[in-house]
Each structure stands twice: as structure tokens, then as C-alpha cells.
């Protein structure tokens, strides 16, 4: 399997990154941290997750089953922070930014009694909702 | 039908003009996996591949060819693609992801300064490969291979014909995700922040009708607020607005003919089965069904007032049995259409279900409207169920197409999609319709707004075309450009200049019975004689049958 080299961040790194959140937010930057950026885990392994609660400003850390986790490719695709991204400036004024596999759109499918539902999102929390079947009822019209 | 004509016309025009780009699928998989999976497979649904890997590659290249046939670029677009074992549970799975490898701003040829462009579009505009290497990432799930542990054995369908059955057709998903990678996506974060403090091109076309600004003019907090401003966030581009009437359908409505005491117009919900309602509509007297059992108006048992129903529009209460069964019962009694009244508060609900044997129009009304109708049935109620062609499904009152901004956030929330009320379904809606595997519909107009194409003819069948050419020279220009057009046969024409937000800049008025070649000069001034700023403008030439547009760039 050939994968692009992607930077991996441990939970300890995540905590340090969170410590710098205020500055990042004041700079008007993109999402302040990888919402749930965790190392790859073996299937069935329980892992710790850390996430900034956007409403309270606190950090939610807790255990969840590996079933709630995305694979590393998808975790990276759903990242919308700029941490570690480096602009390349050329003499003619051109500015390039390699997104390192972030800022992707992710298609998902969920099966339920009335059929399968395909969705696309670029938001990690919304993707987690879809993974757990927390889907809006209105998307599939009721049949009676 | 209009949509089919538009699609046909576009294909013909693109082919005639030789418009195309090469989109290469770069196989990033290792030996015996992903695109190189040697598992034998029988050709299926037009896909001639004889291994799983070959069929996957054929699907990707098929989607790439669709986009490549529509989007002009002299620079080859490289899609780094791979199949990996992505997340899959018994009920949910990641299908795949895609997006730009690199974004770029302030490059030679950039039409909007200080703004991030997806690299494939930037390469096209600069006519150079600004970042040699891959332009789009695409990673799809190899676990959807029929194994029981993943979605209960559901797998990919690699045919091109939409016969996926209970499997998942790969083609529309790839087509949709490549659309994001080519430029139909914003880089704004969920907190409203911009990437490195700079706007992206897509964001400059997102308009919040409440705040009367585009997203690049808003603060991060205002953008976050706008992201849940349902129904009030629209695409603010000229070409999408011009093409929406040729792509989106009207909105079904109930028009009251009598009695006068009822509201003139009532909102209707659509059904996923039965005949479509057109602009002419169906007119008839409304009769409440009676099945003689329990809730007698729910139509779940054999109707006992079939004679009264025959030739009229059946009104049926929601509840107990499926909508399709209610409709079929009324149809069998001779009803010409069915109105199902909701039995809970709220708007007229969409009616799900499928039954090809239902061939009459079926719609719903809200519970409150249903009660109003029932209260007047004693004196007779006559209505027309018809499409309002001026109320486009999925557009605001000004015809601007809505973007997806659900409140509260829902799964699939992303402003990088059209909104769900759009009808017919669009390729770039958040809920991917796996029946859409070849038509890129309004997204091509959005790509024209973004700069992929200079102009896009509106949907008039070739046999009815009258205006045969619209051009200008020089372009870009300063201080004067000549707009040249040719008309045949003689007809009235109107020529105007618009800005990128659709605002009228300069009107040259209406000329009667024009025939042959005409030229008009524009000096870069608006109707008040004020010199306009550098930027992109659109010349719009309209006849009674057709509208043509051309992008004009003023560079001072």
C-alpha cells in the first residue's frame, strides 16, 4: 500500500497544540486544531479522543471505541486546520500552499431500514454523526 | 426536458468548439491492491474491465473524461488516486474523499487577487503548471468488496448504467468528489476562519441574503452564523443565475379556483412516485375519500365512495398505511390526482415510497391547509395543482441558487453543496443521488463563474438558435473594447454589461429587428458615465429566444 507521507500527531502533541489555541484563534485562522487527530489504531482498540468544544472553549477528552474512529486517511482528509502548512512564495508574487491531504470532501454511506443514504461532508463532527447514523430524518422522505 | 436539451446542447457545443482538458488518473496503488487488484471480474454495465482493479480504474477515468470534456485547460490535470482500507462498520462506511492537493494565490492570470484558487483552476488560468505534480487527491474505500463485515456485504458497483441494485455505484461518487477537487469547495473552517487569513475563490461566490454580503466580506463569526442561515445563503454568480431556469424546475402549488374564502395559493409537498406536475397542471373538484373503517378518510381500506372520487381530485388523510397504497386506491377509483393531508403540524411533507403503477399526480398539503380545504368541501372546492415556473425549486426569490446551510448542523453539513430543495436533484447536493452519473448540471455554470470557462450558452435547442456569435476585442481591454455579435434571422436584441455579482453596469438598450453583424463599443464606464474598476464583467446579449454571455476583463 502506497500512502502519501502525512505528519502524525500524538495525543501529547495535541495537548501542546491546544495550549496555543488562543493565539491561533486571534489570528483569525482556520479551525484551531485537528478536531480529533489521533494516531492510527488497531481495529477494536479503545482510544482516547480530545476535541475542542467550540461552544464552551473547553477540551473534551474521553474514551471511545475504535468503532467511532476514522482511518488515518479520512482523519487527515477531514482536517481543516493550517498547523504545519507552509506557504511557498515565489518572486513573481505567486503563493502556493500544499494542503498535506487536508481540506478534502468525504463521501459516506449509511444503511438503514428504508435504504442507503449517501452523504458528502467536509466537517469531522458531521462525519462522525453520519458514521453513527445520526442523520436528519428529512433527507429520506417518510413513506407513510 | 429543458434539462435534457441543455445537456445535449452543451455536449454538442463543447465538442464543436474542441473544448477539453486531459484529466489523468495517477494510479497510486501498489501491486495487487486497489487499481491493481487482479481479482477476475466479468464486464458489467458498460465497464469492459476484466479485473476488479481494471474496472475501478475505468470508472475513475470515465468520471475524469466527463469533467475533462467540459472544462478547458491546456495543462493536464493529474488526479492522485488510490484505494485504501477506509473506515467501514456494519452500517456505515467512508466511501472516499477528494480535494485539491495544493491551493495557490496571486499567480499570473489570477482574476481575483489575494484569493486562494484550487491548483487545477489556477493552472488553467495561468496556462502553466504552477505546481508540477498532482493536482487532486482521491482516496476511496477498498473494503467495500462484498465482505460481510463491511455494510453487511454491500460492495461497489463498477458499471456505468445505474444498475447497482443494493450495491453502491462508484461513478457518481467519483464524479461528485472530483467536482470538489476541481474547485467546487471552500477552504473556510467550521468556525468561519479563512485559510491563512485569505479568502478562497468559492467563498467569494457565497452570498448571505440576510447580511447582504458575500463570505469574503464577512468576519469569521459572521461566516459561522451564515453557515446555518438556512435558505438565505446563495450562489452569487452570473452564470448559475442565468442557467438556473434551464436546470431547476418550478415549485408545485395548489391554486384555489373556488371558493374565494380559501387562500389563493397553498404550498405542496412532492411525491417520489406518480406523475410529475407540469405548468398546465391538473384541475378538478376535491373529494374526501371514505373507506368506511376507523379513520375513514385515510384511504387504507377499500373506498366506499369510489363513484364520487371518479374524475375528481382525491383528498386523503395521512396515517396508518403507505402513501403509495392511498394513491393507488384513489387511482383505482378513477381519481385524476391525489392530495394527501398531513396529520401532524408542520409544512407539507415530502411523500416517500415507490410504485410504478401509480400514474396520476400525487402531492401533499400541510395539516392546517388540509383542514381549511375540508371545512369548505360541503360547498365544493375546485383547485388546480400546477408548477409555478417562476418559483424555482432550490433558488431564492431572485433566482439565485441556494447553498446548503442547515440549522442546526446536520450530517453532511457543508456549504460546498447546493441546497436540498433543488429539484431535480443536482450532482453537487450533499446527499449524493446515485442516479446522477453523467450530468454535471448547474455545477458547470458554477465552474464558469469560477473561471473555468469564458462563457456558457443558455439552453436553447440548436434548431432554434438565432444569435450565432458574440465576441469582443481586445480582451482584456483598456480603455475600449468592441463587442461584436451576429444575428440571423432579424430579431430584437438587448445588450448589457453586468458585474460578477449580476449587477447591471451598462445598458446599451434594445435594438429592433437586427440582422447580420453588429458592433458596439464599451468604454469601461457605467450608465452614469463613471469609469468602473478593473475586474471581470459580462456582456449579455438577449433575444426573445436566447441569451448569450461573454466574459470581459478590464485591466487598468
- What was the pLDDT predicted at B243? 84
CB-closest option in B180, B351, B409 to A141: B351
pLDDT at B519 over 90: no
In chain B, % of residues over pLDDT 90: 67
- What was the pLDDT predicted at B469? 66
Please tell me the distance from the alpha carbon of residue B426 to that of residue B444, in angstroms, as a whole number: 11
pLDDT at B43 over 90: yes
Task: Give the pLDDT band (50/70/90) at residue A30.
Answer: low
- The conformation of residue B53, written as its DSSP 8-state character, comes to H
Q: Does B95 sit within 8 Å of A108, measured CB to CB?
A: yes
Please tell me the distance from the alpha carbon of residue B137 to that of residue B103, in angstroms, as a whole number: 12
Bridge partners of A60, per DSSP, are A51
Q: Is the peptide bond before B268 cis (omega within 30 degrees of 0)?
A: no
- What was the pLDDT predicted at A31? 56
Q: Give A27's contacts in chain B (Cβ within 8 Å).
A: 197
pLDDT in tens, B357-398: 999 999 999 999 999 999 999 999 999 999 888 889 999 988
pLDDT in tens, B189-203: 888 999 999 999 999
Q: B328-346 as b/e, with b when 16 or more CB fall inside 10 Å? A: bbbbebebbbbbbbbeeee
pLDDT in tens, B227-262: 999 999 999 988 888 888 888 888 999 999 999 999
pLDDT at B528 over 50: yes
Q: Give B171's contacts in chain A (Cβ within 8 Å).
A: none
- What was the pLDDT predicted at B384? 96
pLDDT in tens, B2-32: 443 444 444 444 444 445 899 999 999 999 9
Q: Does B196 sit within 8 Å of A30, measured CB to CB?
A: yes
Residue A34, CB-side half-sphere exposure with 13 Å CA sphere: 28
Q: Is the peptide bond before B424 cis (omega within 30 degrees of 0)?
A: yes
CA distances from B166 to A115, B93, B417 (A): 9, 15, 25
pLDDT at A15 over 70: no
pLDDT at A3 over 90: no
3-state secondary structure B121-132: HHHHHHCCCCCC
Cβ distance B233 to B208 under 8 Å? Answer: yes
pLDDT at B553 over 50: yes
Q: What is the pLDDT averaged over residues B69-84?
A: 96
- What was the pLDDT predicted at B485? 80
Q: Give A143's contacts in chain B (Cβ within 8 Å).
A: 322-324, 351-353
CB-closest option in A32, A94, A134 to B130: A94
Task: Give the pLDDT band (50/70/90) at residue B467.
Answer: low
For residue B204, give the nearest of B435, B451, B534 by alpha carbon. Answer: B451
pLDDT in tens, B422-439: 988 899 998 887 777 778
Q: What nine digits make up the cell of B365?
A: 398539503
pLDDT in tens, B85-114: 999 999 999 999 999 999 999 999 998 999
Secondary structure tally for chain A: helices H, strands E = 4, 6
- What was the pLDDT predicted at A62? 34
Q: What end-to-end distance do the CA atoms of chain B give, in Å?
A: 44
Question: Which ranges of B167-269 does DSSP label H, i.e. alpha helix?
Answer: 170-182, 220-226, 238-247
Q: What is the pLDDT averaged over residues B219-223?
A: 96
Q: What is the pLDDT averaged over residues B44-59?
A: 97
Q: Does A121 sit within 8 Å of B197, measured CB to CB?
A: no
- What was the pLDDT predicted at B449? 92
Please tell me the distance from the alpha carbon of residue B346 to that of residue B374, in angstroms, as a whole number: 17
What residues of chain B, 493 to 522, have a C-beta less than 8 Å from chain A? Answer: none
Bridge partners of B525, per DSSP, are B531
Is residue B457 less than 8 Å (CB to CB) from chain A?
no
Q: Does A1 sit within 8 Å of B431, measured CB to CB?
A: no
Ranking A77-91, B69-83, B203-217, B242-256 by mean pLDDT, the lowest is: B242-256
Is residue A72 less than 8 Å (CB to CB) from chain B?
no
- What was the pLDDT predicted at A32? 52
Bridge partners of B384, per DSSP, are B255, B283
pLDDT in tens, B313-350: 999 999 999 999 999 999 999 999 999 999 999 888 88
- What was the pLDDT predicted at A125? 84
Q: Is B80 helix (H, G, I), strand (E, B) or coil?
A: strand
CB-closest option in A93, A107, A134 to B176: A107
Q: Does A82 sit within 8 Å of B99, measured CB to CB?
A: no
Q: What is the pLDDT averaged over residues B528-546?
A: 86
Please tell me the distance from the alpha carbon of residue B186 to that of residue B417, in angstroms, as a whole number: 10
Task: Give the pLDDT band (50/70/90) at residue A4.
Answer: very low
Question: In terms of pLDDT, which residue wins out, B1 or B479?
Answer: B479
For residue B305, give the nearest of B281, B276, B329, B273 by alpha carbon. Answer: B329
What residues of chain B, 64 to 83, have a C-beta less than 8 Å from chain A? Answer: 80, 82
- The conformation of residue B395, written as its DSSP 8-state character, comes to B
Which of A106-120, B274-288, B401-415, B536-550 is predicted most confidently? B274-288
pLDDT at B540 over 60: yes
CB-closest option in A25, A112, A123 to B190: A123
Helix axes B2-17, B52-70, angle to 10 degrees: 80
pLDDT in tens, B116-164: 999 999 999 999 999 999 999 999 999 999 998 999 899 999 999 989 9
- What was the pLDDT predicted at A140? 60
- What was the pLDDT predicted at B373? 97
Amino acid at each position: 500500500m502506497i500512502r502519501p507521507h502525512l505528519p502524525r500527531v500524538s495525543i501529547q502533541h495535541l495537548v501542546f497544540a491546544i495550549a496555543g489555541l488562543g493565539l491561533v484563534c486571534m489570528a483569525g485562522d482556520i479551525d484551531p486544531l485537528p478536531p480529533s487527530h489521533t494516531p492510527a489504531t488497531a481495529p477494536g482498540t479503545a482510544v482516547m479522543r480530545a476535541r475542542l468544544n467550540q461552544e464552551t472553549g473547553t477540551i473534551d477528552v474521553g474514551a471511545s471505541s475504535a468503532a467511532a474512529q476514522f482511518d488515518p486517511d479520512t482523519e487527515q482528509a477531514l482536517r481543516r486546520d493550517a498547523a504545519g502548512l507552509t506557504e511557498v512564495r515565489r518572486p513573481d508574487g505567486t503563493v502556493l500552499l500544499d494542503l498535506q491531504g487536508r481540506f478534502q470532501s468525504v463521501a459516506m454511506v449509511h444503511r438503514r431500514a428504508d435504504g442507503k443514504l449517501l452523504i458528502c461532508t467536509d466537517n469531522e463532527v458531521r462525519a462522525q454523526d453520519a458514521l453513527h447514523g445520526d442523520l436528519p430524518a428529512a433527507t429520506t422522505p417518510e413513506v407513510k | 426536458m429543458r434539462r435534457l436539451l441543455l445537456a445535449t446542447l452543451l455536449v454538442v457545443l463543447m465538442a464543436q468548439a474542441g473544448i477539453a482538458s486531459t484529466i489523468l488518473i495517477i494510479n497510486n496503488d501498489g501491486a495487487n491492491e486497489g487499481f491493481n487488484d487482479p481479482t477476475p471480474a466479468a464486464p458489467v454495465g458498460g465497464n469492459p474491465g476484466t479485473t476488479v482493479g481494471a474496472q475501478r480504474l475505468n470508472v475513475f477515468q470515465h468520471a475524469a473524461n466527463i469533467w475533462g470534456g467540459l472544462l478547458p485547460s491546456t495543462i493536464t490535470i493529474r488526479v492522485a488516486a488510490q484505494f485504501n482500507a477506509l473506515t467501514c462498520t456494519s452500517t456505515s462506511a467512508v466511501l472516499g474523499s477528494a480535494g485539491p492537493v495544493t491551493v495557490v494565490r496571486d499567480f499570473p492570470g489570477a482574476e481575483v487577487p489575494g484569493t486562494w484558487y484550487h491548483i487545477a483552476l489556477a493552472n488553467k488560468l495561468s496556462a502553466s503548471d504552477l505546481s508540477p505534480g498532482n493536482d487532486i487527491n482521491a482516496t476511496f474505500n477498498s473494503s467495500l468488496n462484498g465482505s460481510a463485515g463491511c455494510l453487511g456485504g454491500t460492495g461497489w458497483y463498477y458499471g456505468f448504467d445505474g444498475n447497482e441494485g443494493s450495491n453502491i455505484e462508484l461513478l457518481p461518487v467519483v464524479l461528485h468528489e472530483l467536482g470538489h477537487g476541481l474547485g467546487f469547495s471552500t477552504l473556510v473552517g467550521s468556525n468561519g476562519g479563512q485559510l491563512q487569513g485569505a479568502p478562497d475563490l468559492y467563498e467569494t461566490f457565497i452570498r448571505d441574503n440576510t447580511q447582504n454580503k458575500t463570505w469574503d466580506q464577512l468576519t469569521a463569526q459572521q461566516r459561522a452564523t451564515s453557515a446555518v442561515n438556512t435558505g438565505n445563503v446563495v450562489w452569487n454568480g452570473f452564470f448559475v443565475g442565468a442557467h438556473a431556469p434551464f436546470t431547476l424546475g418550478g415549485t408545485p402549488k395548489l391554486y384555489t379556483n373556488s371558493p374565494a374564502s380559501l387562500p389563493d395559493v397553498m404550498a405542496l409537498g412532492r411525491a417520489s412516485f406518480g406523475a410529475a406536475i407540469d405548468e398546465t397542471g391538473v384541475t378538478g373538484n376535491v373529494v374526501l375519500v371514505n373507506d368506511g373503517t376507523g379513520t375513514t378518510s385515510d384511504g387504507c381500506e377499500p373506498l366506499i365512495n369510489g363513484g364520487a372520487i371518479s374524475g375528481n381530485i382525491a383528498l386523503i388523510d395521512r396515517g396508518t398505511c403507505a402513501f403509495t397504497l392511498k394513491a393507488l386506491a384513489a387511482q383505482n377509483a378513477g381519481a385524476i390526482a391525489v392530495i394527501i393531508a398531513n396529520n401532524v403540524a408542520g409544512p407539507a411533507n415530502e411523500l416517500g415510497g415507490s410504485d410504478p403503477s401509480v400514474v396520476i399526480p400525487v402531492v401533499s398539503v400541510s395539516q392546517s391547509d388540509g383542514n381549511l380545504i375540508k371545512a369548505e368541501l360541503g360547498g365544493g372546492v375546485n383547485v388546480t395543482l400546477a408548477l409555478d415556473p417562476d418559483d424555482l425549486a432550490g433558488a431564492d426569490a431572485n433566482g439565485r441558487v441556494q447553498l446548503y446551510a442547515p440549522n442546526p448542523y446536520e450530517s453532511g453539513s457543508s456549504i460546498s453543496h447546493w441546497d436540498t430543495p433543488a429539484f431535480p436533484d443536482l450532482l453537487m447536493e450533499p446527499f449524493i443521488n446515485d442516479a446522477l452519473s453523467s450530468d454535471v448540471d448547474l455545477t458547470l455554470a458554477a465552474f464558469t463563474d469560477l473561471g473555468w470557462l469564458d462563457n456558457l450558452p443558455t439552453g436553447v435547442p440548436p434548431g432554434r438558435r438565432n444569435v450565432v456569435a458574440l465576441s469582443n476585442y481586445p480582451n482584456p481591454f483598456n480603455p475600449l473594447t468592441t463587442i461584436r455579435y451576429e444575428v440571423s434571422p432579424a430579431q430584437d436584441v438587448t445588450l448589457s454589461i453586468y458585474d460578477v455579482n449580476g449587477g447591471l453596469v451598462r445598458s446599451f438598450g434594445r435594438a429592433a429587428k437586427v440582422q447580420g453583424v453588429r458592433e458596439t463599443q464599451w468604454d469601461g464606464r457605467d450608465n452614469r458615465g463613471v469609469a468602473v474598476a478593473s475586474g471581470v464583467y459580462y456582456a449579455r446579449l438577449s433575444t426573445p429566444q436566447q441569451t448569450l454571455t461573454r466574459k470581459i476583463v478590464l485591466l487598468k
